[in-house]
Amino acid sequence: MSAAQVARSEWVAAAMGALAEAGYRRGGARSAVVRVLSEQPCALSAVEIGELLARREHEVSRASIYRVLEELERLGLAQRVEVGQGIVRHEAAGPGAGHHDHLLCERCGRLQPFHDERLERAIARLSGGLGMVVSEHEVVIRGDCASCVSVDRN
Amino acid sequence: MSAAQVARSEWVAAAMGALAEAGYRRGGARSAVVRVLSEQPCALSAVEIGELLARREHEVSRASIYRVLEELERLGLAQRVEVGQGIVRHEAAGPGAGHHDHLLCERCGRLQPFHDERLERAIARLSGGLGMVVSEHEVVIRGDCASCVSVDRN
DNA sequence: GTTCCTGCAAAAGATTTGCAGTGAC
DNA sequence: GTCACTGCAAATCTTTTGCAGGAAC
């Protein structure tokens, strides 16, 4: 099991624990959404989550997906990532989920995670002086990804 | 006239020029939207732009606002800022508009601009090594703003 | 006069809500 | 047995599109 997989299974445990502690019971839709989120490298839209679930486990209603995502976000276990096309994407967040930021290709729409220590330090330092209780941050870098640019050259 | 106001009027001129150069004529809705954007310190939603215009100039149809914003974004004169509630906000961007990043209060929903040189440098340095042609970036820091926190203390 | 710009109305999506049945505890 | 969870259908809201009249050039 890779380090990332271990971290992800820790996130599943943490998420289920936090949900239980908040008085939620563990219905099928809820754990299915948690499981799907834990396996993704990057953010998914509610529709994509629904499609994945339909394909790999069993159909879960769109409304339930939205409700579960809302709960997870309220508890700080998931994070909204809003980037392009008016669609909201969601990904695992909080303890065990591993923070990352995002690269968005403006041509193909692909969203990729990345991480940079220097950037994180700059934000941490900055956060101290804002007069605001900072809970999280998000960086989106937009441009044309390598594969789109190389297609262009042909 | 303050430095910011000068910059903003430069942006209006640049935007109108770029639009003209791209073959657009100057209809009422288009210049009204450009003017409203130029006066705002931070991003507005299409609905908010419509309300401001209705109050201060004259009613502009929602569809036209969306069309103008789309043109401006295609020309790099405006930028989408997507942050919470599935609503897309828009703000002036490009030459004369002054880049800034965003602070979002998760309690009151207020969006404020901020700028930090160290952060910009970290992102510029990072962008070089991504294997991607970077066109812009956006940083959103979320948390509870000073006024919301002080309300809490009372 | 031609071509572009706008507003209106309808359409298309995404997200939320109300309600009744089912399942967890 | 009670209360929470889920699915379904309807409602809401934002954004997009088609079309006809009006305005810029």
Contacts for B67-73 with beta carbons within 8 Å, 24 or more apart? Answer: B68/B29, B68/B30, B68/B33, B68/B34, B69/B33, B71/B19, B71/B22, B71/B24, B71/B30, B72/B15, B72/B33, B72/B34, B72/B37
Summarize pLDDT for A25-44 with one digit per residue, the tens: 777 889 999 999 998 888 89
Q: Are A7 and A97 in contact (CB under 8 A)?
A: yes
Residue bearing the bigger pLDDT, A80 or B98:
A80
A65-98: per-residue pLDDT in tens? 999 999 999 888 898 888 766 788 999 988 777 8
B136 with A130: Cβ contact below 8 A: no
Residue A43 to chain B, least CA–CA distance (Å): 15
* Residue B85, both tokens: 């509630």
Strand C-proximal residues of A, range 78-137, CB below 7 A, are 86-88
Across-strand partners of B142? A136, B104
Contacts with B135 from chain A: Cβ below 8 Å: 106, 142-144
At which residue do the structure tokens 């000068």 appear? B6
- Written as one string, the DSSP assignment of A33-92 is HHHHHHH-SS-EEHHHHHHHHHHHS----HHHHHHHHHHHHHTTSEEEEE-STT-EEEEE
Contacts of B87 (CB under 8 A, 6+ apart): B45, B47
CB atoms within 10 A of CB A141: 23
Strand D and A128 CB separated by under 7 Å: no
Q: Which of residues 7-36 of B touch strand D (CB under 7 A)?
A: 25-28
pLDDT for A4 equals: 67
Q: Does A85 touch chain B (CB under 8 A)?
A: no
Question: Among A50-54, A84-88, A123-127, A141-145, where is mean pLDDT lowest?
Answer: A84-88
Q: Is residue A73 within 8 angstroms of chain B, CB to CB?
A: no
Which candidate in B69, B85, B133, B134 is best for mutational testing of the A interface (most A CBs within 10 A)? Answer: B133
A25 touches strand D (CB under 7 A): yes
pTM as predicted: 0.85
Q: Are B29 and B50 in contact (CB under 8 A)?
A: no
Give me chain B's average pLDDT, please.
Answer: 86
Sign of the CA dihedral with B30 first, then B36, B40, and B44 last? negative
> What does the pLDDT read at residue B153?
62
Summarize pLDDT for B8-66 with one digit per residue, the tens.
778 888 888 888 888 887 778 899 999 999 988 889 999 999 999 998 878 899 999 99
Tell me if chain A has a CB within 8 Å of the CB of B84.
yes
pLDDT score, position A149: 79
Listed as ranges, the nucleotides of chain C within 7 A of a protein C-beta are: 4-10, 14-18, 23-25
Count of CA atoms in the C-beta half-sphere (13 A) of B127: 19
Q: Which nucleotide is nearest to B62 (CA to C1')?
A: C7
